[in-house]
Amino acid sequence: MKGYYEISFTRIFIRKYRNDYIKLIYPPFEAIISLKDLLKFLRENVGATNLEVEHNRIIVIGARNNPRDYVHYYFDAAFRTNLNNMITGRKTIYIDESLGVPLIGSHYFGLIDRGTNLIQVRPITGCNMKCIYCSVSEGPGKDRLVDYVVDYEYIAQEYEKITAFKGKYSIEAHIDGQGEPMMYPWIIDLINELKSVKGTEVISMQTNGYKLTDDVISELEAAGLSRINLSVDSLRDDKIKMINGIPVSSSLIKRIIEAIVSSNIRLLVAPLWIPGINDEDIVEIIEYVLSLRPKSEWPIFGIQKYIPYPRGRKLKVRVMTFHEFYSTLRRLEKKYGVKLVLRPEDFGIHRRKSLPKVFKLHEKAWVKTVLPGRLPREALGVCRGRVVEVTDFLGEVGSRVRVEIIRTKDNIYVAKAL
């Protein structure tokens, strides 16, 4: 039929929503589009007279030429401007180079240089779990106001600049963030891009593992992932639900662990020790993982101490002192013959020159606000090629605000609005 075009999609799902809308779904994200607005756009550009949606296809009727590129352009714009995270339920801001937001300066997203050969890579915020101890209060719900997701090509481009500055040798890219990195839909593309940067010798990733399957692990291995730092706080079903906030079976966690051990990706199991809650579980995790005889050039355990953080979830437990924590780890080291007290050099981490700071502590400056923050009365601003997290902000995003810089450590900049 003349003027009849069917446009099919394989990587996104299209669902009708109410009467005059559709949802574009690219897990974990969705964007809602008005069919009337889409038809108006296609009418103006290709003369379309009608639209139909069925079986993951858009059917354009009456177009004078193929509207495929226009539909893709419109959908791409929707994902950049009208994105929501289906898991956290929060509006999500898509950050790419065109937005003019630097990737250095925030602890929410982008790249963090702490003066070593390890560069933290944070592509996404938001988590599929709601752990009772979370230091940043992540998980589904309104504990945070917005989420961010960063274009993987933009990350790789800026990452390469940092490696060039620090020296293109013995670099580790560590993918982590305020949330779950495996929720990032372009994680394979990101790893591929990072791996291609000269000097990158290790790519590691922090994850709770719940999105890992045999096929996904194989894809991560093929892309070049070196190590998975797996958060496992218990191997008991009731404890897992209590600590992580979702019902996940211990058998699933064990299958994930075993699949990683069977691959060429190295495993580091990183439980968080909560006194009085998972004391026995820590021992069970050690014994179970050792029974699998995992191979690794790095330590296979990274047991963490529970520390209550100002903006995190706090537990009514007795917090261990560092002396008590490390003394206990040393006793377990002797009992099981495995390294538990870790140092940066165990992972090949060493000091390397840091990016120069662009602000001094307590310096006053004008900042252009560009994005809403994750917390009430917070905005993200841009100044001197860096992101600045502005607290006590009462204005409108887009305005300029006078601030006092109250943090500069690790090129993460926090300021208080004046």
**pLDDT per residue as tens, the chain (418 positions):** 668 999 999 889 999 998 899 999 999 999 999 999 999 999 999 999 999 998 899 999 999 999 999 999 999 999 888 999 999 999 999 999 999 999 999 999 999 999 999 999 999 999 999 999 999 999 998 889 999 999 999 999 999 999 999 999 999 999 999 999 999 999 999 999 999 999 999 999 999 999 999 999 999 999 999 999 999 999 999 999 999 998 889 999 999 999 999 999 999 999 999 999 999 999 999 999 999 999 999 999 999 999 999 989 999 999 999 999 999 999 999 999 999 999 999 999 999 999 999 999 999 999 999 999 999 999 999 999 999 999 999 999 999 999 999 999 999 999 999 9
Give first-to-last CA distance, the chain, whole Å.
Answer: 64
* CATH fold for the domain made of 91-347: TIM Barrel (3.20.20)
Specify the pairing of strand 171-175 against strand 200-207.
Answer: parallel
pLDDT of residue 19: 84
Q: What is the model's pTM?
A: 0.95
Q: Which of 75, 87, 95, 78 is nearest to 28 (CA)?
A: 87
pLDDT of residue 2: 67
pLDDT of residue 358: 97
Question: Which residues make Cβ contacts (< 8 Å) with residue 366, sequence separation at least 6?
Answer: 383, 400, 401, 402, 403
Cα radius of gyration rounded to whole Å, the chain = 24
**Do the beta carbons of residue 73 and residue 81 sit within 8 Å?**
no
Helix (H) or strand (E) holding 294: none
Tokens of 165: 């500055």
Q: What is the identity of the amino acid at 8?
A: S
Q: Which of 276, 366, 283 is nearest to 316 (CA)?
A: 276
* CATH fold for the domain made of 364-417: OB fold (Dihydrolipoamide Acetyltransferase, E2P) (2.40.50)
